Structure 1
């Protein structure tokens, strides 16, 4: 028997320490919308981090919503990861 494929889901967060008190949901969706979010991230060289459990939580919120306090820790860990990837990318570009 073939396993049913789960519909792809994606959530985009924005956090600028100088402008935002906490991260906000700036895009969220399933299926084609999720594909477009991921495509836009790739085209703009934005780091993509897969965390199905977190997406399941965040996809419930409307665009523009600040993330709830109970998700601060896990989102902070992802932001640290993203920052490290951005720094690594910058270092590689300097070597070129």
Structure 2
């Protein structure tokens, strides 16, 4: 029996204010798919924030779906984290 609590999950978001009013889920998965998402982010210097509760909620969305309004605050925190990480890295 597999313990779902120990299976790694990941989600990727993209936000382009010129194209959409809210961020879009660009990738989501667990296990090997999650590892591939995390590796791609790491390889491309994308900051990673760990928030299992948010990833669980995002995993209920379809890829290319805009996030719902009730997740705006949580996702805004993620983008603030990324902004600060980029600022510290001099990007």
Q: TM-score, normalised by structure 2?
A: 0.90
* C-alpha distance after superposition, 1:14-73 (max 9, x if no partner): 012233310000000010000000000000000100000000100111100000100001
CA-based RMSD:
1.3
Partner of 1:29: 29
Rg comparison, structure with higher value: 1
- Identify unmatched segments of 5+ residues in structure 1: 92-96
Q: TM-score, normalised by structure 1?
A: 0.86
Q: In structure 1, how many angstroms separate the alpha carbons of the residues matched to 2:75 and 2:35? A: 21
Q: In structure 1, how many angstroms separate the alpha carbons of the residues matched to 2:19 and 2:86? A: 19
Q: How many residue pairs align between the two structures?
A: 88
